[in-house]
Chain A
Amino acid sequence: MSTPAKWEAVIGLEVHVQLLTQTKMFCGCTNHYGDAPTSHVCPVCLGLPGSLPVPNEEAIRLTLLTGLMLGCNLAPVARFDRKNYFYPDMPKNYQISQYDDPLCAGGLVPLDPFLFPKEIQDTAEAKAGRSIRLTRIHLEEDVAKSFHFEDRSGIDFNRAGTPLMEIVSEADLRTPGEAFSFLGSLRQVLLAGHVSHADMEKGQMRCDVNVSIRPIGQKEFGTKVELKNLNSTSGVRRALTYEIARQIAACEKGEAIAHETRRWDDQAGATFTMRTKEKAHDYRYFPDPDLLPVRTDQGLLEAARTRLPELPTVLQSRLIQAFGVTAYQASVLGADRVLCAYFEKAAAQAKSKATVANWILNDFLSTQPDPATTPILPEFFGELADLVADGTINSAQAKKVFAELMANPASPREIVKRLGLAQISDVSALGTYCDEAIAANPRSVEDYRAGKTNAINALKGFVMKKSQGKANPLQVDEILKAKLSA
């Protein structure tokens, strides 16, 4: 459903990202999921009386690195604050977070057109090339995991105190498709920096959405609704599509939008009121006296800088320029750094680099390979492309070589030999085949000469059959034409 022309949506995202650290944010417990409940806890992350937090420097470096990658302003001195509210999944009943002095402020996420939903990648919306401004990025601790039973809840504190990076966008997004691309584009950056696996479906990246609508042209924001329980990027898109339509329908009926938090029900495909926000939370933030301010300008920032990867946008333009791949191929390669490295190796020495991209992205990828462990050396694809380019084999033979390459990995040159595939380009040999073809197919010859140029295909087919598919089709074409017009 598209937004009726008279309304526009205003969307802001708060994205929580689990960081790839060995240990928790403020204690040395292992940062790992899926283990036996309560097996990674200590006095600190269990909030025992007397325990004290000490910040994990790696979590700070990863947050700074994210800030560098997204062009944020990085604070020379950052502070941790206490955010006070009671909840059983929060051991201290305050969360250590950052309020006044976050590690990063500002920044931009460029929307990758190819990370919009497939069916709208060709629209102006996707091709607009917008960048979404960030408000801030800060670091905090995650809460425990609750399991709800009939009359009780059980809590596993393994996740409590693990590092969580919160990325807050400005209310710059206007469509569900943009929100979808924002999450995908952000994920590419996080993957590039090895900051997080950032998989929403695994809870490594979580997203709260704020959305309101307003008549196009109006400056003021409408009443904002917060959406929760969004567990995938496509879920975010569906929830937003639903919610925007709901708000528009309400407004057009003259109903007021309630300032509330709504829960997305993926099964029902609808949002439902969770709680109204008449009484705003009073979190009573104040600087955590257990933690000294963090100086980032004494080594932390430099350490983060040395880890700056090639950013997705930079990588994509380089791939297009250096390898002649399409923008789409660049986006696919950019999304998988391991595959991209594989491609770059494959294409490095190849004469036809764009063909290498086709082989890898079309044929190879469809076999669902693991580029990190595959026994098929990347150089093989360069060789395969070159064999076609220099006329050693034709494209039909190349398909055979590829199939053999997958089944019994070896150098394509060897496979060509092994299968006896080398193309016949010898003019006299081909001439003989062509003479035989003309002699054996007088009807086709007649047709061709009568102007039915398609009739030559029957002659070509004869030559290919005779030569067991080894004849160079381009040369065959030339020779036949020459002989027929003689």
Chain B
Amino acid sequence: MEPCRPRLLAALVLLLVMPLAPLLALPAVAEDFRLSDQCPPGFEQLGGDVCRLATLYDQYGSLRGRGVGGTRTGLPPRRDGFTAQQIDLGRYLFFDPLLSADGSLSCASCHDPALGFADGRGRSTGLHGEALPRGAPTLWNSAFLQHFFWDARADSLEAQLTGPLYAPEEMGNNPADLLAALRGNDAYPVLFRAAFGDDSGPIDTAQVYAALAAFEASLVSLNSRYDRYAHGDHSALDAEEIAGLNVFRSFVARCAECHTPPLFTNQQVAVIGSPEPPGLARDIGAEATLGSPKLRGAFKVPTLRNIARTAPYMHSGRFETLDEVVTFYNGGRGHAVPEGEALQLHWHIVSPDLADHELEQLVAFLGTLTDERFLPRVPTQVPSGLAVGGRSAREAPTPTGDAP
């Protein structure tokens, strides 16, 4: 079932055109921008254009409301309730390189809708072309997350987005310059008033963060073939995929113990002992966040939704394919931890000794978690007049060295 192929194609075409955009760009005219008064797909539109997400999982409960369980289990608490205008303003901001210090990077540079809202790189590329320590995670379904960043150091979308926005080696901006750029733009002051009210005063950072969070929280992917299976259409998966589901949730592979449906993450941190790319020192991960050496090398369990779209894998992209990932997990507890290195591996990291055909089934199952039906439209132009989306991951310069 490919109802949205045309839109995907459209998005791809747009992204391909992106590099040409500076040549084609005419100065943006404020009148060209009007915020949508329609909630994004999947959202019910309430009074005041407030958008409330509705999903088929809302039919179900979950134990203690935690949103972890089996096939028909409700989702964790979510962020929604933004207005259609706030979400659409967030969309413009998300694709506008105005947000970076030198006008070269937008959020979409590393969270590219055509690449599963990741960037296709093991480690993202910074403002000056440096290789950053970790990879960009997908933004799909971030409305449901309680912790953000690989090391779980932020507790809200707003706290998360200030990280890359102001990190010197990422977008490199600062609040004063950011506000000055937005306030000095022809279109943004009008758009912010449209989103936050006529009496909302001059643009402030809280509004910027809210609009970006609103857009990010609209990126919902819950309509994969797996979901159809979960809701009761058992013909949605073929025999190999169902066998893969059973390997996935078996207590031999134990994938579902941490990548727990319906979100395919239990939102905890875990030490799995996956290796860094050659030459890179061990990333201590959540040890720094929570101050416990027991969490040395712990990372947030990522969602597996759209996982087939977001290679390479792990926090620093050590594995190119899902085959490599499942082979790692099947390789035995701690097999990739260097001799003498102390890591307290998670108790579900075992030596499952799965057969080759079971690994293939597992990868087949992971492919059923793909759903980009609610892919948002990429703006044809952004208020700054800069290239929509800024420098894309594919045109990023070859890394010249590591970020400090």
Q: Do A and B come from one complex?
A: no
| Interface positions of A (Cβ within 8 A of B) | none
| Interface positions of B (Cβ within 8 A of A) | none
